[in-house]
Amino acid sequence: MTSVAALAALLLLAAPAPDQPAEDGPPPAQPAAPAGQAAPTGQPAPTIDSILTQEPPTEDARQAAVRAAFAAAQALRGGLDGRWRLTTAEGEALYIFQFADSGLSADPRSSTPWTPTIEGAWRDPRREGAIDSSGFVSSIERNGMVLVIRLFDRDNRRPTVITLNQQSGGPGWSGALEDGDGHHNVVMSPF
């Protein structure tokens, strides 16, 4: 007798007889209802034939399902997820950012999937078409109501540092940009 067969025999011998309830543990499961008869919920159990003969969903129902799935996925994302525009206090566009904010959950699309971080890319609309007018954000640190963005724009030895505070009552941010040209008051808003 093999060890697997011996183990199976021991399990059969240790099991209670079908007409005796188990001493410890949950009550025995109810047998499934035969096809075509009512399931325990009162609804007839679906069969292959009943599924295949159903009317296909309408295009509106499909679109609604896609929209609902998208909304559910977006609800899990962080508040910075999406496109943002950084402007001077006077309204001149300085940078366009695209952020991926996974919130506080793991994101398989992230460069560090199991460590929730905010990642992003930038583009300088003032230098449209220039080879150095875009790049990746070096780091984004969010600590409560304060956001610090570091990127290397024109000078690869010295980062541009943007320190922002979240505005009360809205999704925008305001603060300062410091680069080789000095200190500038800035505003960041969804774009």
What pLDDT was estimated at residue 7?
46
The Cβ of residue 86 has, within 10 Å, a number of other Cβ atoms equal to 24
What pLDDT was estimated at residue 137?
92
Q: What is the dihedral of CA 59, 65, 68, 70, to 10 degrees?
A: -90
What parts of the chain have a pLDDT lower than 70?
A: 1-41, 155
Residue whose token pair is 């499961």: 29
**What is the rounded CA–CA span in Å between residue 126 and residue 88?**
13
Report how many helices (DSSP H) and strands (DSSP E) the chain contains, helices first.
Answer: 3, 8
Bridge partners of 85, per DSSP, are 96, 189
Give per-residue burial for 114-133: e unless 16+ CB within 10 Å, then b.
Answer: eeebbbbebebeeeeeeeee
Give per-residue burial for 172-191: e unless 16+ CB within 10 Å, then b.
Answer: ebebebebeeeebebbbeee
Beta strands 134-143 and 146-151: pairing type?
Answer: antiparallel
What pLDDT was estimated at residue 46?
80
What pLDDT was estimated at residue 173?
93
Give the burial class of 170: count Cβ atoms within 10 A of its Cβ; 0-12 exposed, 13-18 middle, 19 or more buried.
exposed
**What is the rounded CA–CA span in Å between residue 32 and residue 45?**
10
